[in-house]
Amino acid sequence: MENDGPKALDPKVAALKDAVTDIEKFVATDGWDAPIRIFAIVKAVPALEKAPELAEELPADVAVNAITDPNTLFSVEQEGLPQASTLEELLAQLAWPEEVDGAAIVAERIIVPPSAEMDLPKDPQRALIALSEHPEREDVRMAVGYMREGHSWCAVRTRSHDNDADVVGSPDAVPGLVAALKATFE
């Protein structure tokens, strides 16, 4: 994974990278141990043409008349998500109308070295406690975006390097979440 590769990104991927990075930074302001959050992503120019009143909801530092790049994206956090006991179950319940061009999900997970998983208790609750208390555990926040057109971007932050400059990203850093988001458009 890399922050900014030596070669230029496709403009559509660059726009999604910007949107996902902004979403991750926005979620980071609420701190760690947060619930899963879902965002719809729409192309700014067509969205403003269809619904000019959206301009009133934009942050004060966004000049609507300056939004001329057809790749500029807006994200809208989704509230009232369906009840689900797992991330997979939640995503399986989502579907997007044609007006939504993409989606992003932000979720936190615990990662440990493979050796830590060898002697885990069989009981899922006890296993979770053992993992959360493991001395080599690392908390990660993953923000993953997928566009209906087929491109994706993933931004990953670790609790041990919790600042915006240390967020890393790539189109395929979290392939399972990319595939799960893609399925919400099929």
pTM of the predicted protein model: 0.84
Ranges assigned E (strand) in the chain: 37-43, 73-77, 102-111, 138-147, 152-158, 168-170
Side chain identity, residue 82: P
pLDDT in tens, 34-72: 999 999 999 998 888 888 888 777 776 676 666 778 898
Tokens 């998500």 appear where? 81
User: Is residue 13 within 8 Å of residue 153, measured between CB atoms?
Assistant: yes
Q: Tell me, yes or no, whether 1 lies in a domain.
A: no
pLDDT on residue 65: 61
Domain assignment present for 155: yes
Q: Is residue 108 part of a domain?
A: yes
3-state secondary structure of 166: helix
Which residues span the domain enclosing 106?
11-184
CA 30 to chain centre: 15
What are the backbone dihedrals phi and psi of residue 46, each rounded to the nearest 5 degrees, phi first? -65, -35
| 5 in any annotated domain | no
Q: How many CA atoms lie within 13 A of 173 on its CB side?
A: 20
Q: pLDDT tens digit string along 74-109?
A: 999 999 998 988 888 999 999 999 999 999 999 999
CA–CA distance, 118 with 115 (Å, rounded to integer) = 6
Q: Is residue 3 part of a domain?
A: no
Instruction: Identify the three-state secondary structure at position 173.
Output: coil
Instruction: Phi first, then psi: give them for residue 67, nearest 5 degrees.
Output: -85, 90
Judge contact between 71 and 14, C-beta under 8 A.
yes
Query: Pairing mode, if any, of strands 73-77 and 37-43?
Result: antiparallel
> What distance, in Å, lies between the first and last C-alpha atoms of the chain?
28
The number of folded domains in the chain is 1
Per the domain annotation, does 131 fall within a domain? yes
Query: Average pLDDT over the chain, rounded to whole?
Result: 88
pLDDT reported for residue 85:
86
